[in-house]
Each structure stands twice: as structure tokens, then as C-alpha cells.
Amino acid sequence: MVEHDVQPVGPGAGPVERGLPAAGRGVPSLDQVRRARAELVERGRWGEADEIVREVVEVVLAGGAPADQSGTHLDGLVYLPGGPAPDTAPRGGIPEEQRLAVRAVQLANRGTDRARTLATARRLLALPGWRGAGAFWCGVLVLGYGGRLDEARERCARALRDTGAPGARGVVALLAARLTWSAGDPAGAARELSQSVRREVGEQVRGVAVAWLVAALVDLGELDRAHDLLLEHDFGGGLTGVRDRAELFLARGGLHVARGRLDRALEDYLDCGRELARWGVSNPAVAPWRSRAAVCANALNRTDLARALVSKELAAARRWGNPRLIGLVSHAAAVVAGSDPEALRAAATALEGDHALGESLYARYDLALALGTRDRYAEARETLEQVRDTARRTGYRLCADRAEAALTRMTTLDGAGGLTRQERKIGELARTGRSNREIAEEQYLTVRTVEFHLSRVYRKLGIAGRRDLRTILTPLT
């Protein structure tokens, strides 16, 4: 497993003590901080790079007078998906909106104090007058990370009514579209995001606009359109030198999952984690890459990796304290732990009523599959029908199609006709979660023989593989 954590910095070592040159009263210039951070990242000392920025910002916020800060901005110091940097500082020091913006974003990225993070974002957004699209982007994005979706959407609606700057309106509209998706309206989000992309958004936000549109299109079941969009913008390869690589890796991983390419999805999710690690981002509210990677790894029989990833993310989600995030990661943890129906039900329940419709639907879909593998067929069917009907009504066509396919595959004994007695037995054991090796040991067969019989089961039932066996909700024997 690739480990993305970093070593803590030694106590008492401030930025100057670490060799970072000082400007003026012991406070380094932002350009010096930026260069020092980049050098540390190149040497793999990501935690120390993040700590230097944090300490300098703390000095500024505490009232230290920065020297030589004129004409610079805070871009390149903290991770911020997409949005424009808090606008260029005028001569004479860093304005308050920049200081609050970078502090709010860094607190969110660390994910250890949600109350303080939200308070900082609100202080930023409460500053009088229109303070620029960059600062606004930071504040609203942090509100979203903190689970304050209604508040974030209201801020966007108010800004769209009040500001007359065309550039600012485009940025706010893009952010509002993302919040629309988060609130459970993928169709509305896709319409708004498509308009942003068609308007040829600036290079600074192009990557994140495409990534967010891809995520919405996946929920809508428009997988070919999502794939074509990535290729159209040259986001189909390694993304070397591309802005917002983490968001693109996350969205592309979701597309791979929807198309059943779990090995490629796992690669993208791990690449997302590597990119975020370079910025010292540990909060899964920014990007829940670990839990998504864990589900893929589990399906690929890389159980040790899956358990390690989901355990770490669940601890981080609980530390941050956003109920929606905890429910989302708990769903992944339940799948990795063996899809216990009650654990999945608890995760789905936690996601209800918190603007988490999509996450709730997928959790209930997995709940239905788990019920079916435990002979609770009537309950499984009822749950699937509810998921299908709700998903159709709300535009989650990918989930609706999956639920409908699972209902269709509720194979009866007659429906499994054509399978030999041995194939039925092996298929049923695989359906209930046993590995090929476990089946071989139980049936006194070789693993190769089990694989041969399973391939015939897949072909005769018209399914792609072991993953689809779980969607057959009545026994094969």
C-alpha cells in the first residue's frame, strides 16, 4: 500500500529556524514561503511544507506586520480546488480577506477543528462590500466542506443577485452549480455546469468545471458523454501539469467505477490521494478518495489495502464531525467489512435528510444486495423498488438502472436453468461472498476448476463477473 501520511515537524522549529529566510520583522515574504514550500514538497517533506505556511499565516493573523508582501497573492500556498486565488494584494500588506481566506482553507484541509474553520469562513464572508470572487470562492467552498450546504447556497444566490461583474458572476455560477449537485439535483447541476464549460471558462477553473460536470453526468448515467468530455479537454491521460488534478482523478475514478473498470478507478483514486498529500490535505470532506479507493480495492480482493484505507478515512471523518461525511464513509466501511445489512442500514439512515440523496440511494442499493445474500428476499426486493423509484424521480439514472437490473436478475430456480448442479453450487457460494480459494477448499476442488465453473456461470447468466453475482437476489441452488 502506498502511504500518504507525512512525518510531523519537530517541536519549536519555526519557519526561520528551518532555514526559511526572513523579511523584515522575522516574517518571511510570501514569495520566499512559496519557494520554500515547493522545495520541501520536492523532497517529500509534505507535512513540513504545510506547517511552514500555517505558521506564517498564524503570524499574519495574529497581527505580525509582513514586509515585502506587496503585489503578491496567496495562490500556491494552500490547496484550493479550482477557484481563483484571493485577489492580488495591494501595496502595503495582505488585506484581511486574503488572510482569512487562506486560513479558512488551510483549516479545512487539515480537518481537525470544524467549528473554528466555519467561524473563519463566516468572518471572511461577513466582511463589508464585495471582496472579490477569489475570497468568496474560498469562504463558500469551506462552508460546503463543513456541511453547511443551505448557508453556502444562500450565499451564492445572494451574490448572483448583487454582483454585476461578469467575471465574478461566472465564478459564483460555477460554484453554485457544484452545490446544486451536492444538494441532490444532478440534472440541474449538469445543465449549469455545461453552460460554464461552453462559455469557455478560464484556464484556472477549467479543470474543476470539467471534473464537476463529469461527476454529475455519471449520476445521470451519461457515461459516454462524460468520457468524451474528458477526452475533449485532454484529461484522459496522466494529467501531468494539469491544474486540479485531484478533482479530475476523483471524477474520472467515479466514471471508471460506473463502467466496471475497478482497477483503473483504484489507480485514479490513489493518484488523487498522492496529489492531496503534496498539499498536506487530510480532511476527507475535501475529497473522500480513501473510502472510494477502499471499495474498489475490496472488490479486487485487496482486502488489507481496503481495510487500511477505510479505517483511516473513517477516523478522519469522525474527527471533522460532518454527519453527511461520516455516513458516506460508514457506507464504504460497511461494504469493506462484509456488507452487514444493519451496518449498511445505519449508514443509509445517517445520510437521510442531510442533502445526501445520491449517497443515500447508493447505500440503500448496497443494503438491498446484502439482504439478498442473506435470504431476506422480500425485503431486498422492496428496498430495490424504493431505490429505483426514488432515483428515477430525482434524476439519478445510473442508480435507477442498477436497481432495475438487480430486480430483473432476481433469478428463480427456473430462471437459472442451463446451469449444471456443480455450477449452481459454486455460483451460490460465490454469490454469498466466498473467495475462489475458500470455495475450492470447501468443495475439494482446485482453484482453477472453480474459476472454470464460475466463468461458465457468468456466461450462462449473462453477467460480467463475481461483482454481478451479488445482484442475483435469490439462491441458485
As given in the structure block, the three cell numbers for residue 299 are 472488490
Q: Which residues pair with 23 in a beta bridge?
A: 27
Instruction: List the single range of 34-38, 85-89, 366-370 with lowest mean pLDDT.
Output: 85-89
pLDDT of 379 over the 80 cut: yes
Residue 430 pLDDT grade (very low, low, confident, very high; cuts 50, 70, 90) = confident
- Identify which of 420, 413, 341 has the alpha carbon closest to the alpha carbon of residue 379: 341
Say what the pLDDT of residue 412 is: 52
User: What is the distance between the alpha carbons of residues 229 and 232, in angstroms, rounded to a whole number?
Assistant: 5
All domains of the chain, ordered by start, with CATH? 421-469 (1.10.10.10)
Say what the pLDDT of residue 92 is: 46
User: What is the distance between the alpha carbons of residues 333 and 337, in angstroms, rounded to a whole number?
Assistant: 6
CA Rg value for the chain: 25
Is pTM beyond 0.85? Reply is no
Instruction: Give per-residue pLDDT as tens, 15-42.
Output: 444 545 444 445 666 677 778 887 887 7
Q: Which residue has the higher pLDDT, 131 or 325?
A: 325
Residue 1 pLDDT grade (very low, low, confident, very high; cuts 50, 70, 90) = very low
Instruction: Give per-residue pLDDT as tens, 116-155.
Output: 999 999 999 998 765 677 888 999 999 999 999 999 999 9
Instruction: Give per-residue pLDDT as tens, 280-311.
Output: 899 999 999 999 999 999 888 898 999 999 99
Mean pLDDT, the chain, integer: 83
Residues 6+ apart with CB under 8 A from 421: none
Mean pLDDT of 178-187: 93
Instruction: List the single range of 9-18, 292-301, 350-359 with lowest mean pLDDT.
Output: 9-18
Written as one letter, the residue type at 430 is A
Say what the pLDDT of residue 42 is: 77
User: What is the distance between the alpha carbons of residues 100 and 184, in angstroms, rounded to a whole number?
Assistant: 30
Mean pLDDT of 428-444: 87
Do residues 77 and 30 make contact, with C-beta atoms less than 8 angstroms apart?
yes
Residue 414 pLDDT grade (very low, low, confident, very high; cuts 50, 70, 90) = very low
Mean pLDDT of 385-409: 93
Do residues 286 and 108 make contact, with C-beta atoms less than 8 angstroms apart?
yes
Run of H or E residues at 252: helix 245-258
Instruction: List the single range of 273-277, 280-284, 463-467 with lowest mean pLDDT.
Output: 463-467
